[in-house]
Amino acid sequence: MIYEPKTFSEFVGNQRIVNHLSRLIKAAKKSEKPLKNLGFYGYAGTGKTLLAEVVANEYGALYQYFNSGAIRNFSTFCLNLFEVCRDHCQVSIRDSEDKIKKQTKGKPIISLLDEVHSMSMGVQDEFLSLLNDGTATIRQGRKIRTGKVPFEITFILATDRQYKLSEAIRRRVEPIYFEPYSEAELAHIAEQFVKRSGFKINDETSQLIAQRSTSAGRCVSVCRTCIEYVISQDGDGVDKTCADSVFEAMGIDDAGFTENEKRVLRAIHTNGGVAPIKAIAVMSQIPMQEIESRIEPAMLQKDLIRVSSGGRELTPKGLKAIGVDVSGGLLV
């Protein structure tokens, strides 16, 4: 059992975004025009990927997922767009437009490009034609073919670093900004996950899990492990003792910090309270990609660090997290 909402009503959090997307889908259906391309911007763990699949379900579309970090060649990417039609509708890129329309029965496609900032600028430039009017240029050896994608497709570009996208790309999508989950929303996810898995959980325990989780992903991971503990002991519910044991095993302290998060904070402090991301990676001995994709978003969300001209700067809250007060002395 995992937290996998299929409809807007099942999705937890970001109600403002859910209402907005619901209106966009209704407008597209009534006007019989394609759903516009969307940019999902926000920290990791705020529900961007989950909501993309919900949008596909609500729109009645086939769903494709791409990890943009793996897209090195635009032509290969374009060919992969046809795989969903080949798999679900028994058509290929060589089929006529009439056959494709007949086989797909007009069903649109929602294609999520996750971590889209990982695309090189060269691939982004080629991708513009797809965003503009569905035109793609495919190179296979010496053969070059240019044409329109013969079915309706909407792209959702998901990233926590939209500043790495070209301005031309950003202008061609509807920006949707995701807010971090509140503790109340995380508590609701914990309760929903455990109860749908057939186990009990009280309000105190779900709130504890929420307080020490930084994202829906961590919240669900903790709940899943709690359930495994309960099953191993032939129990029927997740309680505070069980949750505490799981957090201890996962290396998450009472304030919700992992050892890697604290290492990053200490590295910044050692450098005088502000440091560029490369220096943080060297001093903490944590890969820069892991810091940028997993650790930094949670720290920004918790207001432990801020982005400054010098790199990443500790906030008073970040100093307190590693036992240093704002005057520079150790807390006792």
- Per-residue pLDDT tens digits for 158-210: 998 898 999 999 999 999 999 888 899 999 999 989 998 899 999 999 999 99
Of the residues 155, 177, 199, the one at which a domain ends: 177
- Would you say residue 239 lies in a domain? yes
Considering the domain architecture, whether residues 64 and 85 belong to the same structural domain is answered as yes
Considering the domain architecture, whether residues 22 and 144 belong to the same structural domain is answered as yes
- Would you say residue 16 lies in a domain? yes
Q: What is the structure's pLDDT at 330?
A: 45
- Would you say residue 1 lies in a domain? no
Considering the domain architecture, whether residues 171 and 244 belong to the same structural domain is answered as no
Considering the domain architecture, whether residues 304 and 287 belong to the same structural domain is answered as yes
- Would you say residue 173 lies in a domain? yes
Domain residues for 193? 183-249
- Would you say residue 326 lies in a domain? no
Are the CB atoms for 190 and 210 separated by under 8 Å? Answer: yes
Considering the domain architecture, whether residues 232 and 161 belong to the same structural domain is answered as no
Residue pointed to by tokens 């325990």: 205
Work out the average pLDDT over 24-28.
95
Of the residues 193, 218, 249, the one at which a domain ends: 249
- Per-residue pLDDT tens digits for 275-293: 999 999 999 999 998 888 7
Considering the domain architecture, whether residues 42 and 124 belong to the same structural domain is answered as yes
pTM for the whole structure: 0.79
Q: What is the structure's pLDDT at 45?
A: 79
- Per-residue pLDDT tens digits for 262-272: 999 999 999 99
The Cα 35–Cα 239 span in angstroms is: 44
Considering the domain architecture, whether residues 52 and 101 belong to the same structural domain is answered as yes
Are the CB atoms for 295 and 306 separated by under 8 Å? Answer: no
Considering the domain architecture, whether residues 69 and 167 belong to the same structural domain is answered as yes
Are the CB atoms for 67 and 115 separated by under 8 Å? Answer: yes
For 195, phi then psi, to 5°, come to -70, -35
- Would you say residue 332 lies in a domain? no
Considering the domain architecture, whether residues 228 and 117 belong to the same structural domain is answered as no
85: pLDDT strictly greater than 60: no
Residue 292: CATH number of its domain:
1.10.10.10
Considering the domain architecture, whether residues 169 and 191 belong to the same structural domain is answered as no
Structure-block tokens of residue 174: 């509807």
Considering the domain architecture, whether residues 296 and 221 belong to the same structural domain is answered as no
- The total number of structural domains in the chain stands at 3
Band (7; pLDDT cuts 50, 70, 90): very high
- Would you say residue 188 lies in a domain? yes
Residue 212: CATH number of its domain:
1.10.8.60
Q: What is the structure's pLDDT at 16?
A: 93
Lowest mean pLDDT across 38-47, 53-62, 232-241: 38-47
The Cα 60–Cα 211 span in angstroms is: 36
Of these ranges, 79-93, 107-121, 138-152, the one predicted with the greatest mean pLDDT is 107-121
CA 123 centroid distance within chain:
21
Work out the average pLDDT over 15-42.
94
144: pLDDT strictly greater than 80: no
- Would you say residue 215 lies in a domain? yes
Residue 76: CATH number of its domain:
3.40.50.300
Considering the domain architecture, whether residues 32 and 150 belong to the same structural domain is answered as yes
The Cα 183–Cα 206 span in angstroms is: 10
Of the residues 215, 249, 283, the one at which a domain ends: 249
